[in-house]
Amino acid sequence: MNKYRVIYYLCIIAFIANVSMMIGTLLGWFHILDSNYFFWSSLIFSLVFERIEKKVKERV
C-alpha cells in the first residue's frame, strides 16, 4: 500500500504542476502548442488517479 501511496502523491504533485503550466499558457508564459501536451498529460494523470484509488480500495 505504501508503493501506491507514493505514486499517488507524486501524481498529485505532477498534476498541480501541470495545471499551473496550463494557467501559465493562458497568461502567455508558454506557447499554445505546449498547452496541448499539458491537456493530454492531465487526462493521463486523472486516469492514473482512478486506477490507484481502485487498487487501494481493493486492498482495504
Q: CA-CA-CA-CA torsion for 33, 39, 41, 47, nearest 10 degrees?
A: -160
Q: What pLDDT does residue 34 have?
A: 59
Distance CA 5, CA 19 (A): 21
Tens digit of each residue's pLDDT, the chain (60 residues): 577 777 778 878 888 887 787 788 788 777 666 566 767 777 787 788 788 778 777 776
Q: What pLDDT does residue 20 have?
A: 81
Distance CA 33, CA 20 (A): 16
Q: Can you give the residue range of the structural domain that contains 18?
A: 2-59
Domain tally, the chain: 1
Q: What pLDDT does residue 47 have?
A: 82
pTM over 0.85: no
Q: What pLDDT does residue 41 have?
A: 75
